Every structure is written in C-alpha cells, then in structure tokens.
Structure 1
C-alpha cells in the first residue's frame, strides 16, 4: 500500500497502459481520477465511455475512483479535471500523463492535420494538466501545505532514439522528455518530482505497427509508475526510465560530449577536419528504430 491516502489523476486511462496504471495505483491505496476522452486509435470520437468501466473495476477491488471525460489538450478542460480531483478527494498528489494516439506516416506523406493532431494530444496534452496541477501545488506550498507531489509523464523509445514512419509521434515524445527535465528543475521547490517513463507494451497503439508477439503486457509497466508516485521516490526527479518487461533501463539523453575550443571564430574550411575528429571521439548514437 505505497499510496495509501494519496490522490491521483491518470490520463488516457480507459484502455491499455493507462488502465493498468489506474488499477495499480488503486491497488496501492490511491484514489484515482480515471480520465479518458473515449476516442479511437486515430483520435476520432468512438462514442464509448471506457473510463466508467475502469472505475467499476477499481470499486470492485474496494478502491475509490471517479471517471473524467476531459480532452486533456483543452486548457480549460484540463483545469477542470485537476479541480475535480481536489473537489472529489480533497487534494491531488499524483499526475500520470499517459493519453495519446498515433497517426503513423512517413515524413513526406504526413499531412498538416495529422502533425497538428498528434502534437496536440501528446505534447499539449501533457502540458495542460501539468500546468494546472503545478499551479495547485505551488499554491499549496505557499500556504504551508507542501505536498509530496509526483508527476509521471509518458515518453517513448520513438522519442528518445527515433522511429521510422513515426516522425510526428517521435517529435512529440521527444518534446515530452525535454518538458520533463524543465518541469523537474522548476517545480522541485514546491515538493514536486517529475519523471518520465518510456513503456514497451502490447497495446492497440503498437499492434499493427510492430510485431507485438513477444512484447510485454501493459501492466508490466505499472509497478514502476506506482513506485515513482510514492513518497518514497522523493529523491528521484528529472529522469526518463524505459520499461521493457522485466528490464528497467535509465535513459541518458543529450549531453555535452567531445568539444574543441579554437579560441577564435571558426572558418568554414577548418570546421570539417575538427568536427570529424570530435565525432570520432564521441559516443555513437543508437540507431533509429526501423532503420
């Protein structure tokens, strides 16, 4: 019961990984706002309410939960979702940003509408809930009620190493990793840790895009989320952690590598030899998935 008495929001929690997170947090004692907009894999209206089903599962386990149908990339709806947690359960301690969908295309075939839709739900859909939750935690800290708040964002190997045919998705997930670093640095003073996971799982998002026969199950990712959401994890922040079945990997992102200070402005002919020497002395990046 790592999370007894704590209050969580999980976005995109009607199916797949988000559903597994919501159930795991509830098993550890958290009251959960189960958010799901009820859309198809491509982000279109499905006329379903999967969040209600997850709430019923949590209540059957003896837990506390409430459904939320907000579009997390809508700034005002995201604010109302945070307020729902506070009004229903008396506060907010945990935000798990998970909602998203894919519209995979090779870069030269990607439409403007597809780009905008994927960037909106993933990147703005992380920013809006985080922004409103962060404002609440800042206000609590200023009033002397600092909470041991936790944010777990959802990046991807596609955002960290890149993935052929997923330029839009990769750009969004890479942005989420960078957002995680900045939020961790800015919000630590209010008692907030901000981390991200890069989950690997057989879900409706991966089926059709990859061979999923050997992939982990959605629930294999959730124990890590539950621990990161606990008060025990207060010394871990600004990190991206990949989970692939039984393997946890700490991801190391962009960092300064080999450098050469010429002491004056470079000339163009000097750049080539110097840069080639630096690249030869630098860590070789991992290959893009599918390359």
Structure 2
C-alpha cells in the first residue's frame, strides 16, 4: 500500500531550516516529492541542500530552489520547473518568513513593508503561480502559515502580526473561491523553537517545541481528506483550532441615542454565549439584517 501522500508534488518555502525543514522532511516521509525552496538555497553550503540530500538518502524525491518569494517571476520559474519535472503541483506550503521586531513607535516603514512583502506578498506570489494549474486539475492543497501573534497580538510585532492576520483573510476567501475546484486552503499557526524564537524562550521550553512536533498537523491539512478554511494551532505535540466568531450581540436601531445605547451595552455585545462562525462576510450581513427584521431569520 502506498504512503499517504504518495507521488504528490509539494512546494515548501523557507525550507532550509526550522519549520520549513521539518515540513519538507515530513512530507517526503509520507511519499511526497518536495521542492525545497529557500532564499539563495541553491548557493554552496546552503542548509536547503542538506534537506534535499537527506530526502534523497531516505529514498525520496526532492529538488532544490533558491527563489526569493518576493520575486514573482522567480516564483513562477520555480513552479514551472516543478511542473516540467513532475507534471504538476498538488501542495503549496507558504512557510517563508522573517522577523523585524520592534515596538511600533520605533519601527521603520521599511521594516514594516519588508515583513509584509515576505510573509503576505510571498504567499500571494506562490499561490498565484500554482492557482491556475490547481483549478485546471480540480485539485490543490494550500497552507498559509499564520501565527498566534496575528490571531491574538504580541508586543513588538505589529508588522509580523499584521502580515500573519492578513494571511487568515487570504485563506478565508481563497477557500471559498477554490471550493468548486477542490482546492482546499487552510492556515497553520505553529508554536515551535526555530531561529525566529531563539533567545526568547528558556532551554527546556525550546526543547519541547521542536518543529518536528508541528509537521504532523501540516500533513493533515494537505491530504486528499483535508479540511478547508481551518486554522490549526500546533505546538509541543498539541493541536487546537482557532475561529473568527461572531457574538449574538444586540439590536439598538438607528435612533439619535444609538451611540449611547451601544456604549451602555458593550458587555452584552461581547458576551460569547451562543456565538457563531459565519460562513462568509455576506453571512454576517444576513445575520445583522435578520436581527433588524429586514430579512428572514438567517438561523
């Protein structure tokens, strides 16, 4: 019997070290052919070469790619080479990332843009390069790497948090647009000891947060039975799901004192009893119009 991802073709960006390396090795272990992408990863002595060599030694298939995900043309060339070699791209893991941490008051616009360019636009470039092929084949699996910093905030990471939450919005819409083509799009929010967390956590915690403990969750997001529109949290061998929810809220109408009513009832508005997860932005509209009695009850 073949492996779970036998002969699937996967691209993992930022795959030279840390989470990307763990993802590439885990995908290969399950039978995938892997494009190991890392910035300048094809240079002599680059860590990505060692990842490819390890996959080959274990009897897998892999190729090296040094494209910068900020360069749309280089990304397209990477995808074209994978298709020329293996016929298609089934799986895209948008993992490449950088940090430029500072409090917002001290952060330069250049550092804000750079982080957005790598995390958000890098994922956009890679996704655009595989999207048409996945639509044509009626099959695709795409994973965006989000973060607890985006979902819940983190001091000193306004740029990183903005980019990571933007990827959630990108995932939500692409999952809807890809549904009829069986393109399933999910987010992975890892807690892992990588070069990006070194020096922040104590040694014992770093040891427990091995990147390899996150990658089994990635595999669950890219197989034939994968979910879509899931935000999977993973760290230290634990897995959870995050949701963007909508509370039941209140209806105050449009009277002159509406603002005062909203201020007075903020606790009711944010009460989480009976909260829901809207299926789309349009569903939020429907729920609100139903409370105002302007459409039939959406529930």
TM-score by length of 1: 0.87
Question: 1:221 maps to what in 2?
Answer: 214
Segments of 5+ residues of structure 2 without an aligned counterpart are 274-299
Note the alpha carbon deviations across 1:26-47, whole angstroms, 9 max, x for none.
11111111000049xxxxxx98
| Aligned-residue offset at 1:87 | 0.9
Distance in 1 of aligned mates of 2:179 and 2:221: 15
5 Å-filtered alignment, 1:12-23, equals 12-23=14-25
State the match for 1:286 in structure 2: none
* Equivalent in the alignment of 1:91: 88
Counterpart-to-counterpart distance in 1, 2:146 and 2:88: 26
Whether 2:254 is the aligned partner of 1:264: answer yes
Deviation at 1:171, TM superposition (A): 0.8
Render the CA deviation track for 1:105-135: whole Å, top value 9, x for unaligned: 0110100111011111001111111112112
Please say which structure displays the higher CA radius of gyration: 2
Q: 1:105 to 1:89 in 2, by over 3 A?
A: same
Correspondence list, 1:171-190, <5 A: 171-190=162-181
Kept in 2, the 8 Å contact 1:38–1:50? The answer is no
Kindly state the Cα deviation for residue 258 of structure 1 after the two structures are TM-superposed: 3.3
Which range moves more in the overlay, 76-85 or 3-12? 76-85
| Count of residue pairs brought into register by the alignment | 267
Most deviating of 255-264 and 68-77: 255-264
Question: Which of these residues, 1, 10, 13, is aligned with residue 12 of structure 2?
Answer: 10
Does 2:32 match 1:30?
A: yes
Which residues in structure 2 correspond to 1:210-249 (within 5 Å)? 210-211=201-202, 213-215=204-206, 216-233=209-226, 236-249=227-240
Indicate how the Cα distance of structure 1 residues 277 and 230 shifts in structure 2: closer, same or farther if over 3 A, else same: closer
Q: Distance in 2 between matches of 1:209 and 1:169?
A: 16
Q: Is the 8 A contact 2:40 2:67 kept in 1?
A: no
On the 8 A contact 2:250/2:268 being kept in 1, the answer is no
1:162 aligns with 2:153: yes
* Residue pair 1:150, 1:230 contacting (<8 A) in 2 also: yes
Shift of 1:54: 1.0
Instruction: Name the CA shift for 1:228/1:265 in 2 (closer, same or farther; >3 Å).
Output: same
Is this contact kept in 2: 1:206–1:212, CA < 8 A? no
> In 1, Cα distance between the equivalents of 2:248 and 2:221?
33
Alpha carbons 1:72, 1:128 under 8 Å: kept: yes
Unmatched segments (≥5 aa) in structure 1: 40-45, 284-291
Query: Could you say which structure has the greater relative contact order, defined with CA pairs below 8 angstroms and 6 or more residues apart?
Result: 1
Decide whether aligned partners of structure 1 residues 19 and 273 sit closer, same or farther in structure 2, where only a CA change above 3 A counts. Answer: same
Provide the residue aligned with 1:42 in structure 2.
none
CA contact (8 A) 1:38 1:47 kept: no
Conservation of the 8 A alpha-carbon contact between 1:258 and 1:278: yes
Q: Structure 1 residues 9 and 241 mapped into 2: Cα distance closer, same or farther (>3 Å)?
A: same
1:43 corresponds in structure 2 to none
Q: CA deviation at 1:276?
A: 4.3
Change (3 A) 1:154 1:212: farther
Greater displacement, 2-11 / 261-270: 261-270
Per-residue CA deviation, residues 52-72 of structure 1 (Å, 9 max, x unaligned), is 221111101111100011111
| Maintained 8 Å contact 1:241/1:250 | yes
